[in-house]
Structure 1
């Protein structure tokens, strides 16, 4: 290459420091040269921007070193502070240098792609970072650019699917297919839809794949995917047909892992249809084949067989298979044990293959047959193992079951001790779950941030291309008529519209993300139902049993189970009809009154002019306020108090719900709290406040709550809730 420059000389002192402005462009096309290094030896460095411009501080007499991979390094001595315009053109060695640049880009792409795959199951963020670097190494002029992008987006989707983010995996598999169609990627897309429970989309994907050229192994996967899709859509007969097609091919191709898995799936579907004899045949095949494989595979299938017999109440067979599974688990190698703790969503069900889970389920089977003495050792072993593994979920369930078994045996003291330990474990589990939710939110935000960076990278690539064209046009239009200048103005206006559109799309995506975050937060808050009512209820049952009041215990448990069933049915809903919430409230107040008959009476009065079926309310919204009234107000009152719940019509589109008690009041209630209680924040009230805040943001101030002392007195409390009708 050679260099032409145009310099106007002003007589200045060579010692003076000045700021030099300049540009680097191709001579033949006037295209700006981006990322050209401008150095002052031993001092400073700058780079040209997207328009080929640069600024750098120098002293008169300094030597500039101008370098880039696409042309030979140029040296220039600064003579004055005037602008430097540098024009470059191809030289005989340029083609060789261009090949070197392509080679470097290719090496960068391959190196980062391999690193991304290697770190896929270790660190999602690092793996995605490698994908980003590999994507940056792709040039649009590269003939293999689309193929490379397809591979990168496939790998990125594999990362998201491995780390249990199927929605993000779906988006990236689609982008990969758009760049280059590949049957295997389409199969992965179908599996991602299944993982995200989008059964209709997975069915459509696998059905489309049947029309393409597939090898035998791919056909097995497609038939299995169709079976999974129909099973998810509750079309059991079609699921069985496709599972059988997959099984025939798998047996023909000697794919033992697939044969084991398909036999197990057929057993489950046939059991759901009531064909128990056929189901047992497939189940037996699955267990027999698995016993010839690794101990992990054998343990998984035996545990599935045990689950099968549990559904049909064949507890002896269930116990037999679980004991065999326990033997397999004890013989699992270290490598297989590490795979059980893998975070991969594919192995999520494998995590149930632990000794604490199997011991717990064996105990449940014995307890179901009233063989309590046989159940107790397995429960104790499950609790011990779960504690050593910090498996609080199993430890909680096993401890609760141990308390129930002791209670059935009539050993009430041991039962009480078990239930007390259960309460302690539940508190620990709530703390652990809160931490897990926080970590999951952080992990999700980190992955979303990485995904947005890749999207921005692609947009920047397109935007830079537009800037290059715009700069070239601006240079040519300098000597043209005003008509052509208007074309540039229109181009700028169009670019501005594109930028505004991009900003709008980013805003919409952020809004959707906030909405998704709010939904996740609501789900988290709904899952954090305050356990103290359950514990208090169980203690009350213990009291009834201890006083030999079995009729009261049975009556209380019946009503309590009705309340819990209703709570669970409504737990996944943001809003339920007001009439359902009132039914729930009536049942809850009835239970509380049953326990504290000597402390208060209650009344629930509804304005007859209100059509309660027209109003929607968040589930379990009123219960914490009623619970506070009973437990912190009326319970401590010496004489009998009154709890009143009034529902009055305010306007055509709103009503007020007033929860009023004649208890000791908030100030006295605070004074009665222990030091430990004062340090703890009410989880139920906090959750309610957070839920109302989030729901009001999502549904535009639907609920308002006001809490005050009754008649400005030190005794009694009133909670007023304003509920607006749904639009």
Structure 2
């Protein structure tokens, strides 16, 4: 017995030594080191350090790194500033890399801005591509982009990367992680798109108060697009609906609906009608709900077929809740026809008869199951049975075990109601089998979900680690730069004492340049002041015209005139801050202004605007509302006093390769006769108005090298009529 015991002890010791040696071989330890330039020992930050066993890190601002490795690992040091360096691990000793041909930090940053930015964009494009195909690959590409951005400090790209990561998590219903990603993106750079996505994630996660806060904040912004504004109103409506405040919900949905209608956003018009119907239904205002649902049904016909089917099913659910089963059945049968036709087309590309939506899936078996339930609610058992049987069969083909189970249970109950206990028992046995199968499948799904969550958590931890490394690297790098700046300041202090006279000379130069800039600023201020002094007579007289139309009960003319007038005023205000605008835009304003004046004095004159056929109008810029005062003078001080109907002509023609000639010609009473007819107040107003125009042209010509020239003369030898000629030069 003792002999066998000795053999056993020796065997155990042998195994222990073998395992110990194997453990030592695979034992992971931390390696520290640095990467520096060989000649001046300059630290190299942002070097990517990887091991063949999967380790990953980036050198900090001092060129230092730490990484886990095992004996035999191959460590790679990669950077755009030098060729890749490799090192084989033989022990846990520190590894210091000295690079022969190192490019200094500033050039390295320039190098990254060209090559690194392209690489980051490639990673993010790949992440978007795999977003709905392979979540692991998609997150890996985002991780690589964040890792690459760790050494560049590009806030815009970093925000873009985190936003895409949030969209990936949101697509896979990982709303907590999506919210965190969007918050990281907003820390890097605030964008309206990311704020709206954050608000939507809060809605999906049922954090309605947080969603409301986000959307209210975005709603105060002025620089958001019309579509983004409609999304904000929709988000606020959803948030208030989630908070059971249906009154506020309906208010914001209606705001969104008005915006969508005024801007012809067809898809949003349908969505808002549908959501207003939801809110009224939740508030038990069924008549109002049905009215908006009817609208959404009609509008959805103009949308994609999938959207139309979704809306029919939603409204059918409403009819089910209000016990309007006949309407429900009719609508579901219609959506069933549409879905079968849609699936027939889609099967040419991929075999499917399921339409996925954000909340559930719409399939032919589900619709048939709901039709059967509507018949059962009316105790129409014979009509319900075929739909239940078809639902069970199609669910079996699609492996939709939930619908198959529910429809089988219902069919068993129907047979029991009809007194066919044999079929009821057989069907119930099938139901029990399906329940067992479903239970096993649920356990498998829970297990898969747990593994999925574990993998996601692992990848998220790596991203969090990269973010911490990036912040640490940034702080150390800033510290290193601060130290360098302190040394530079000391050097410059010494240089400043030596080159004091040079600085005095530079001061004199800057003083001269400052005076020149001040003169330019004064010119710009004067221009702004002159632009803002629009002749008030036109506004006053235009409003009088509207008043006259109203007094004559000519509401249509008043509305048309007021609409054209408001369009002109809006355009004038939009262009009021510009020194020059495209000539095409100025011609549109003149056309509108002349049209308004003609509508008031149609018995006094006709007009025509001629643009040379071969003239490239888009190539020229003109000061805004520069021509209008001269046209106003032609009408008010020339044509208005004629006994016969006069004519106003505006010609735009090419004068030379780089200039055009704009002529404003009227056959009115002429300048001399007009001056005799004016009151003293009118003379004063004209003098002031023409004086402003002259000052404005003088300032513009001083700033832009004689760009505009104006000449005014009598049109006819007898002094009647007036001709104003503008010479406008092209920008060089």
Provide the C-alpha distance between the structure 1 equivalents of 2:146 and 2:197, rounded to a whole number of angstroms: 21
Q: 1:166 aligned to 2:178?
A: no
Provide the C-alpha distance between the structure 1 equivalents of 2:398 and 2:211, rounded to a whole number of angstroms: 37
Cα deviation for residue 265 of structure 1 reads 1.5
Aligned to 2:73: none
Q: How does 1:615-630 map onto structure 2 within 5 Å? A: none
Q: What secondary structure does 1:197 align onto?
A: coil
In structure 2, relative to structure 1, the CA distance for the partners of 1:125 and 1:340 (3 Å cut) is farther
Provide the C-alpha distance between the structure 1 equivalents of 2:160 and 2:47, rounded to a whole number of angstroms: 27
Q: 1:130 aligned to 2:145?
A: no
Structure showing greater radius of gyration is 2
Q: 1:31 aligned to 2:43?
A: yes
Deviations 1:536-587 (A, max 9, x none): xxxxxxxxxxxxxxxxxxxxxxxxxxxxxxxxxxxxxxxxxxxxxxxxxxxx
TM-score, length-normalised on structure 1? 0.53
Give yes or no for contact 1:24–1:88 (8 Å, CA) kept in 2. no
Give yes or no for contact 1:32–1:471 (8 Å, CA) kept in 2. no
In structure 2, relative to structure 1, the CA distance for the partners of 1:335 and 1:435 (3 Å cut) is farther
Aligned to 1:191: 200
Cα deviation for residue 394 of structure 1 reads 0.3
- Between 1:311-320 and 1:414-423, the stretch displaced more is 414-423
Q: 1:154 aligned to 2:147?
A: no
Cα deviation for residue 107 of structure 1 reads 1.9
In structure 2, relative to structure 1, the CA distance for the partners of 1:72 and 1:400 (3 Å cut) is closer
Provide the C-alpha distance between the structure 1 equivalents of 2:97 and 2:461, rounded to a whole number of angstroms: 37
Q: 1:106 aligned to 2:120?
A: no
Provide the C-alpha distance between the structure 1 equivalents of 2:354 and 2:322, rounded to a whole number of angstroms: 32
Provide the C-alpha distance between the structure 2 equivalents of 1:209 and 1:401, rounded to a whole number of angstroms: 49
What is the alpha-carbon root mean square deviation over aligned residues? 3.9
Provide the C-alpha distance between the structure 1 equivalents of 2:429 and 2:78, rounded to a whole number of angstroms: 75
In structure 2, relative to structure 1, the CA distance for the partners of 1:254 and 1:341 (3 Å cut) is farther
In structure 2, relative to structure 1, the CA distance for the partners of 1:282 and 1:468 (3 Å cut) is closer
Aligned to 1:347: 357
Aligned to 2:253: 243
Q: How does 1:336-485 map onto structure 2 within 5 Å? A: 347-349=357-359, 351=361, 353-464=362-473
Give yes or no for contact 2:257–2:269 (8 Å, CA) kept in 1. yes
Q: 1:287 aligned to 2:297?
A: yes
In structure 2, relative to structure 1, the CA distance for the partners of 1:208 and 1:72 (3 Å cut) is closer
Structure 1 stretches of 5 or more lacking a match?
1-20, 38-46, 55-64, 75-82, 475-727
Q: How does 1:513-552 map onto structure 2 within 5 Å? A: none
In structure 2, relative to structure 1, the CA distance for the partners of 1:48 and 1:336 (3 Å cut) is closer
Deviations 1:282-324 (A, max 9, x none): 1111111112333212211111111010000011001000100
Q: 1:220 aligned to 2:238?
A: no
Give yes or no for contact 2:369–2:407 (8 Å, CA) kept in 1. yes
Deviations 1:627-666 (A, max 9, x none): xxxxxxxxxxxxxxxxxxxxxxxxxxxxxxxxxxxxxxxx
Aligned to 2:282: 272
Aligned to 1:609: none
Deviations 1:192-233 (A, max 9, x none): 000000011101111111111222111111111111111111
Cα deviation for residue 257 of structure 1 reads 1.6
TM-score, length-normalised on structure 2? 0.53
Provide the C-alpha distance between the structure 1 equivalents of 2:331 and 2:400, rounded to a whole number of angstroms: 23
Cα deviation for residue 262 of structure 1 reads 1.6
Give yes or no for contact 1:32–1:468 (8 Å, CA) kept in 2. no
In structure 2, relative to structure 1, the CA distance for the partners of 1:149 and 1:371 (3 Å cut) is same
In structure 2, relative to structure 1, the CA distance for the partners of 1:123 and 1:341 (3 Å cut) is farther
Provide the C-alpha distance between the structure 2 equivalents of 1:73 and 1:433, rounded to a whole number of angstroms: 50
Give yes or no for contact 1:356–1:382 (8 Å, CA) kept in 2. yes
Q: 1:296 aligns with which of 288, 306, 315?
A: 306
Provide the C-alpha distance between the structure 1 equivalents of 2:301 and 2:83, rounded to a whole number of angstroms: 68
Aligned to 2:126: 115
Provide the C-alpha distance between the structure 2 equivalents of 1:471 and 1:343, rounded to a whole number of angstroms: 59
Give yes or no for contact 1:199–1:232 (8 Å, CA) kept in 2. yes
Q: 1:229 aligned to 2:239?
A: yes
Give yes or no for contact 1:326–1:358 (8 Å, CA) kept in 2. yes
